[in-house]
């Protein structure tokens, strides 16, 4: 899902009765990081959230967040509602999917319709009544002994999974332009000179040391850019040595 994909406009992040303005700001920042901009809040405890300092770089997103009195009104224009939950100890009446699977299903749905991703309050999570508006639930696979996450972190993890592209992760970076043999030889000679002037070279083993050094430089397979950086450093070192 490219960063400018129109599909991203179809995902609505809905925070239900959030309590801490800083968490709301952190959620807004995470949304901006991953290219989602429709933030909705259901009955937030404090309307001062719009000034949350944690929304670094996402002030406009926070300013444009919409407040709804009920979950029903917040998700009215959506065709799929997905709730988030830690597993906890209560019995669930919905299908529960791990986030890896849920993320793929969310991406698939966004091609055609609006989707609401619900996050419950920091203290209690989503209630059974709020979950009743969900088609299914998803969970972040955290450890059983500490399954609950900070609201802002949970939003970030979920949105990352929605945009994650496994194929893109397999793409190899473009190879750097290799250095020519002439430039590698120049680097080797300058390095030998610097080591000789600094007293590192033993006159009795100088020939074998130079051969080892030449092999060492070639095993490094320096790029053209790296060679130029090394040459610049060695020029400065040799200039300093000549001043003594």
Q: Mean per-residue pLDDT for 221-243? A: 92
Average pLDDT, the chain: 88
Contact 143, 137 (CB under 8 A): no
If 0-12 CB within 10 Å is exposed, 13-18 middle and 19+ buried, where does residue 78 land? buried
Q: Identify the CA nearest to 192 among candidates 212, 171, 170, 173.
A: 212
- 189 pLDDT above the threshold of 90: yes
Q: Mean per-residue pLDDT for 120-135? A: 91
141/126 Cα distance (integer angstroms): 17
Q: Which residue has the tokens 């100890």?
A: 89
Contact 22, 51 (CB under 8 A): no
Structure confidence by residue, pLDDT tens digits, 71-108: 999 999 999 999 998 765 556 788 899 999 999 999 99
Structure confidence by residue, pLDDT tens digits, 12-58: 999 999 988 889 999 999 999 999 999 999 998 876 676 676 677 78
Q: What is the DSSP string of 144-210?
A: GGG----HHHHHHHHHHHHH--HHHHHPPPPPPPBPPHHHHHHHHHHHHHHHHHTT-S-GGGHHHHH
Q: Mean per-residue pLDDT for 194-207? A: 88
Q: Mean per-residue pLDDT for 210-231? A: 93
Please tell me whether the overall predicted TM-score, pTM, comes out greater than 0.75 for this model.
Answer: no
């Amino acid at each position: 899902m490219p960063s400018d994909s129109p599909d991203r406009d179809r995902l609505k992040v809905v925070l239900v009765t959030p309590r801490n303005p800083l968490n709301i700001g952190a959620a807004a920042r995470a949304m901006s990081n991953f290219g989602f901009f429709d933030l909705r809040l259901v009955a937030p405890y404090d309307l001062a959230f719009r000034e949350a300092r944690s929304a670094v770089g996402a002030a406009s997103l926070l300013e444009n967040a919409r407040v709804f009195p009920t979950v029903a009104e917040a998700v009215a224009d959506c065709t799929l509602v997905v709730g988030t939950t830690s597993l906890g100890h209560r019995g669930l009446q919905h299908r529960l999917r791990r986030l890896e699977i849920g993320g793929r299903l969310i991406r698939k749905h966004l091609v055609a319709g609006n989707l609401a991703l619900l996050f419950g309050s920091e203290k209690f999570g989503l209630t059974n009544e709020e979950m009743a508006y969900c088609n299914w639930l998803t969970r972040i696979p955290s450890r059983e002994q500490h399954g609950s996450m900070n609201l802002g972190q949970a939003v970030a993890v979920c949105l990352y999974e929605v945009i994650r592209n496994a194929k893109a992760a397999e793409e190899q970076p473009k190879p750097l332009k290799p250095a020519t043999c002439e430039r590698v030889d120049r680097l080797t000679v300058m390095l030998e000179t610097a080591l000789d002037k600094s007293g590192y070279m033993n006159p009795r083993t100088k020939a074998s040391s130079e051969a080892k050094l030449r092999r060492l430089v070639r095993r490094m397979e320096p790029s053209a850019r790296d060679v130029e950086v090394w040459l610049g450093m060695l020029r400065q070192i040799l200039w300093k040595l000549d001043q003594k």
